[in-house]
Amino acid sequence: MLLCVSASHKTASFELLERLSTQTTRIAPLIAAHDECVQGAVVVATCNRFEAYVDMDEPVTAASAVGLEAALLAIESATGVPAAELDGSYEVISGADVAAHLFSVASGLESVVVGEGEIAGQVRRALTEARSDGTTSGELERLFQRASETQRDVKNGTAIGRAGRSLVRLALDLADGRFADWSRLRVLLVGTGAYAAATLAALRDKGVEDITVHSPSGRGERFARKHGVAVADAEAFAHAARLSDLVITCTSAEHPVLDASVFTGVFDAPSPAARRLVIDLGLPRNVDPDVAGAPHTDLLDLETIRLHAPLEELQATDAARALVRDAVQRFTVVGERRTVTPAVVALRAHLLELMESEVARAQRRGDDGRTEQALRHLVGRLLHTPTTRAHTLAEQGRADEYVAALELLFDITVDDGEDDAAASPLAG
């Protein structure tokens, strides 16, 4: 059984999400090690959400409760946020609804800005990290792979993929009203990761030419050479910040890299009448909130950006939602069929064993092969209807009836271990 414990911008404050994202220990391995009935775990952590996807051994009584306990204890161990403090800030999703949720998340339908593209890469990286930690399971692999496929279908087949805007571009759009001519701005970009590259591209689309980069981790020189911008080292950082009309931070630093002290004292901006803007895109936050009180300085952070994000209906399309629903239906059908696969394999093995016994008897009597051929054809015909019926019953949620019938009629004990299912060509 799949389970998702989700805290997002829809259920939790950015302050709490920031604390959840500050961790020195990976959470998925802690979840997976909680109990033997936990089959696997994948954690998706972004600036707008923190989600633990857990694969539970379904026959376990109260599997949902065990999975939730595993996630909450792991979160507390890795981040220091106790379960009691999370009350009311997360939701628990289970069963088929997990696929519907993740497919929507991966497609950008649950983001602050509906249709934003960064989340797709974050979902893929979460699976890669879980593989590295050895915490995936067959069902989680299938879930996340189908989520990425759905995201590509939504991106390529609907307007939402082409019209969606990232948080970076939304933040710059919110700043449009205060900058009459972007080409005359002095901009300081703090950070050198993928988000910084996306920010740089968005700035250039706005016409910005004077861009300086600073890296708290010392990677500024390489980024500057690659992208053709100026660089400010640690000693020049404060001066560059004071000279800038716009400062954008997007680093993975766990502590603020900019505070009000940088702007205290001499006002070095090109015009004393101007007000600089600081945009903080980091989570954890890169900018101390006291910057909002610094002279001639305004602060735009993720919390404020979220409040100005357009309503979902303005960007989400019926076509995108329909693609997600179709993908969830396919995922569910295949999953239900997989639940009955061990029973189909057991029936097939039972009939083949009987056939092989009769073939051996015929061969001892000197059969020329025609009896064997006839028996194989007969067994194939006999298996067709029970196999088709098994899949139909599974899709109706009645796989247990099929298993019970096999045990009653043929005294077949069904082994539902994954090894048998994976080895069978009938496994889906």
Dump the DSSP string for 271-301. -TT--EEEEE--SS-SB-GGGGGSTTEEEE-
Model pLDDT for residues 188-211, shown as the tens digit of each residue: 999 998 788 889 999 999 999 999
pLDDT over 80 (residue 421): no
| The two structure tokens encoding residue 154 | 């939504």
Model pLDDT for residues 172-183, shown as the tens digit of each residue: 988 988 898 999
CATH of the domain at 222: 3.40.50.720
- Pair 137, 10 in one domain: yes
Instruction: Provide the pLDDT confidence category of residue 395 given band limits of 50, 70 and 90.
Output: low
The backbone torsions φ and ψ at residue 216, rounded to the nearest 5 degrees and listed phi first, read: -60, -25
pLDDT over 60 (residue 311): no
pLDDT over 70 (residue 313): no
pTM of the model: 0.64
What range does the domain containing 51 cover?
Answer: 2-164
- Pair 8, 33 in one domain: yes
- Does residue 107 belong to any structural domain of this protein? yes
Average pLDDT of the residues of the chain? 84
Q: For the chain, what is the domain count?
A: 3
pLDDT value of residue 162: 55
| The two structure tokens encoding residue 158 | 């609907």
- Pair 286, 389 in one domain: no
pLDDT over 50 (residue 300): yes
Instruction: Compute the distance between CA of residue 87 and CA of residue 4 in angstroms, rounded to an integer.
Output: 15
- Pair 159, 217 in one domain: no
Alpha helix segments (H runs only) across 264-396: 302-308, 318-364, 370-395
- Pair 182, 270 in one domain: yes
Q: Which of 4, 37, 47, 250 is catalytic?
A: 47
Can 47 be counted among the known catalytic residues? Answer: yes
